[in-house]
Structure 1
Amino acid sequence: MLYLFLIFLCRGFLILIISLSFREDSSRMMSIFFPNKWDFYWSLLPAIPAIAVFALLAQRSRIFKAEKQRYFTLIPWLFFIGLVIDTMIQSKIIIRMDFGFSLAHGLSILIACIGIGYGAQSRHMRDLPSDWQRT
């Protein structure tokens, strides 16, 4: 589940990659997902903590060898920070739309809130840093 929520936070980068793969008109493809270009720039912000978590997980063996396991305690915090930032950005976009309903933004807020609840209640997220510190 952690990886699915991290991919969810990186959706701005995924949309960028998909739109760049269309050679004819990548800006038109980008405008489908983000009518306002600042919405796209804001969508890249929650990806920063998610990429940091991916980097920590990818370099797990090097961190173990260097005996710096305390960095794994950052994983739940970065996860929460990314989800809270995403929720705030989606709320800001909805407020700017004068609270007009948007299915995409509503689902984004719902998924982010489910992720926050998962992170708060998940035994895996709670035990992940402590298990890795003991090894």
Structure 2
Amino acid sequence: MFRIEDVHWLDDHGHVRPPLMLYLLLLFLARGWAIFVMSLTIASDRSELVKLFYPDRSDFLIALAAGSGAVFAFFLVIAERRRKPLWLRPLFGSLRLLLAVLLTVEAVLLVIRLSHLTFLFDWPMALDGLLLFWSAIYLYHSRHLKAYVADWPLGE
């Protein structure tokens, strides 16, 4: 599974570090939560930033609900870095499956949003579709991500 050129994936303890693309994928999937947290920093009107990205309140609430799985996956990554609690280990082993399910949910939500526009071209939705496509390819082909998920064995 490992090649000699993959040694840069390892940290000081010999464990595989999380790929940077994993963090970017989680940020993409949890972008509703990221916008919510950024809106908390605005002192005057917190809802203006949210309205900029999500003009319809229901779209924002759906983005928060769909992004909850990505927030959970981020906490799994944090737990793996600390190697505890051990009861999360079986859940961490299914991280790639969880990400695939989250990408599928995001794709279904994109199709629903496109149907509201009667499938007319819209730049933000085109960018979402492109990022979904790249994320799915990354999830399927990344050797680094596969090695990272397999690095926290059950016996540890």
1:32 aligns with 2:52: yes
Structure with larger RCO (C-alpha < 8 A, sep 6+): 2
User: Residue 59 of structure 1 is aligned with which of 57, 60, 79?
Assistant: 79
Shift of 1:127: 2.6
Match runs of 1:1-135 below 5 Å = 1-60=21-80, 61-63=83-85, 66=86, 69-133=89-153
Partner SS state of residue 130, structure 2: helix
TM-score normalised to structure 2 length: 0.76
Work out the percentage of aligned pairs sharing the same amino acid. Answer: 26
> Partner letter of residue 127 of structure 1?
A
Unaligned runs of 5+ in 2: 1-20
> Partner letter of residue 29 of structure 1?
L
The Cα RMSD (Å) is 1.9
- 1:83-122 CA-to-partner distances (Å, cap 9, x unmatched) read 1111211221111111122111111121011111110111
Aligned to 2:7: none
> Which one has the largest radius of gyration?
2
- 1:51-85 CA-to-partner distances (Å, cap 9, x unmatched) read 1111111112114xx37633321210111111111
Partner SS state of residue 152, structure 2: helix
Shift of 1:19: 2.3
Q: Hey, what's the Cα distance between the residues in 1 that align with 2:47 and 2:139?
A: 35
> Partner letter of residue 72 of structure 1?
F
Counterpart contact for 1:70–1:133, Cα < 8 Å: no
Unaligned runs of 5+ in 1: none
- How many residue pairs get aligned? The number is 133
Partner SS state of residue 132, structure 1: coil
